[in-house]
Structure 1
């Protein structure tokens, strides 16, 4: 459901830029609406992972952690394919970067979830997005290296950071804190 909503909104917002003078440090810097769409998929994945039966999964014979990892990787792959298709067919280059950002935010959220739980993980993902929106630009078109979410598609540092964060997040699956 998250990927379908993401895809539909991707087609609606396209490459539209909004100006957020009260949020961004530079004030005049525009942000593409597409930069906010990765939260939909990231939070949907977190919700799916939290809707589980812990005791039944512990005693079951199925490899639940492997299924969870497959869910994350298949969802990320689907979003990347949507971004590449939108880039190629509809001339929306930022769609590829939005797909990359889904993987980065999801990996970050999964990593935080493994230590602090899903509520904190969702907050960190949203916070990271708004931190990059508020303070991630040196100039209107030049993001800081740590602001991976604002980098253009095909940026090598952003790709490496995304791969690393996604791998860390996927490996962190199965190490969730105990439920209270």
Structure 2
């Protein structure tokens, strides 16, 4: 398992990803920015974009492999990959809770929820688009900004733009993450 973790470059990417995530959440706090949109002029929380480095590093870890050797090997790398993804998400959620406690605000907890949702999207996309699926969550964020608001109120389908205390986005994030993990099983067995 030690060699697998080194092959995935987890020893380099994981600490860097989590440090960038926590620092980003801490730095943006409750900052909102006015972004151009088709359906209004929403004030979007800057924390919406903080999960992007975690997604990029996670995809880099998952794609730093030898597919043919892993497919023909005796041990299943799928379980290890899913354990890696789950542990990274658990640490990201923990980071968001720590930042929320340090700031005394609930807003940073949306970072943990959003990283789960966006990772699920990325893993779903990876099943058929491969490494290019790292852009799926970015595309989702751009779509949310461009058409995801009615005036200054986020639509319910956006998930990532909804308030921290809403139950629907938390449930949707967990569901999409679980479906993404299931799709990960299929994509990890591909050789090309």
**Do these two structures clear the TM 0.5 threshold for a shared fold by scoring above it?**
yes
* 1:136 lines up with 2:148 in the alignment: yes
Q: Contact 2:25–2:111 at 8 Å: present in 1 too?
A: no
Partner of 2:18: 3
Counterpart secondary structure, 2:108? helix
C-alpha separation between the residues in 2 aligned to 1:48 and 1:23?
Answer: 34
> Which residue of 2 is the match for residue 110 of structure 1?
123
Give the 5 Å matches for 1:43-62.
Answer: 43-62=56-75
How far did 1:24 drift?
5.6
Number of the residue aligned with 1:123? 135
**CA separation in 2, counterparts of 1:88 and 1:10?**
12
SS of equivalent to 1:25: coil
Find the partner of 2:45 among 7, 14, 32.
32
Which residue is equivalent to 2:158?
147
| Residue aligning to 2:11 | none
Work out which of the residue numbers 66, 76, 101 in structure 1 matches 2:114.
101
The RMSD of aligned alpha carbons is: 1.6
Q: How many pairs were matched up?
A: 176
Mind listing any 5+ residue stretches in structure 1 that lack a counterpart?
none
Deviations 1:46-75 (A, max 9, x none): 111011111221232333111110111111
* TM score, norm. by length of structure 2: 0.85
- Where structure 2 has 5 or more consecutive residues not aligned to the other structure, the ranges are 1-15
Q: Which residue of 1 aligns with 2:31?
A: 16
Which stretches of structure 1, 4 residues or longer, exceed 6 Å deviation after superposition? none
Give the TM-score, by structure 1 length.
0.90
8 A Cα contact 2:39 2:151, kept in partner: no
